[in-house]
Chains A and B, each alone.
Chain A
């Protein structure tokens, strides 16, 4: 297969998130409208389904924390805008939760196919549970794909946001199971000269030239 793909595309980390203009429950929105802010673009299989409802409640729960981090939310499913409006009203009436973010009504599957949200092995007509984290420059920084049966973990999504923002701010990486406040990792040296310099630094958290931890930096 060549680099020219036929059929649905798949976005790539580290590259510009595919642009789009879409009808949402808050009017017509373009991806570029979110420039200079972090954005979580996420898909769910269908309105008026139970796991998706718990996820919308979960996203609403973390919305204030996301706003503090200058992160916006934009949902998507292959449903009509009327379905979105009715479902959001239903969530408010039945669950007491006021969903604050817009939801793309992707009936023609344009955005879903642009972002590789449809997994035919699970459903040919519904998007999977996908999360795309896009930075203020419009670069795609992280992707999470979950199956239909498994609701997403909001704490993990927040954790990834914190890790990416920390990495951008201080040029560090985060180890497995990192949570805010825990030690971070210095990027490994990329040349033999830099490896020698790192060894010579005698940092307390260094295990070897490629592996150095240090306390999480702060302002």
Chain B
């Protein structure tokens, strides 16, 4: 949708948001507010993007803190 193309590749804005998140296993997962600030996308886009990435398995969530998954690294390298 807004972040992920039908073929599974990332849109430019999707890549920007995903790269702004900490990597898998990071000791410092990120809030959505911090993601909005770091990526430069409005808060509503950050929330919608996280929802899309969670659905696609590219982001994991723990107590409203977020990080990329290993699957995200594969998509980013593509």
Contact = CB atoms under 8 A, between A and B. Distances in A.
Contacts of A27: 1-3, 45, 48, 52
Interface residues of B, number: 11
A99 to B, nearest CB: 14
Interface string B1-12: 111000000000
Interface in B25-55: 42-45, 47-48, 51-52
B42 A29 contact: no
Question: For this complex, into which size category does the number of interface residues on chain A fall?
Answer: 10 to 19
A30 interface: yes
Interface in A52-111: 72
Main secondary structure of the interface of B (DSSP, over half): helix
Contacts, number: 32
B29 to A, nearest CB: 20
Contacts of B44: 29, 33-34, 37, 72
Interface of B: 1-3, 42-45, 47-48, 51-52
Interface string A22-40: 0000111110111011000
Nearest to B4: A27
A149 B1 CA distance: 35
Interface of A: 26-30, 32-34, 36-37, 72
20 contacts: A26-B2, A27-B2, A27-B3, A27-B45, A27-B52, A28-B2, A28-B48, A28-B52, A29-B48, A30-B47, A30-B51, A32-B47, A33-B44, A33-B45, A34-B43, A34-B44, A36-B43, A37-B43, A37-B44, A72-B42
Given A28-B52, A33-B47, 10 more contacts: A26-B48, A27-B1, A28-B1, A28-B2, A28-B48, A28-B51, A29-B48, A30-B48, A33-B45, A37-B43
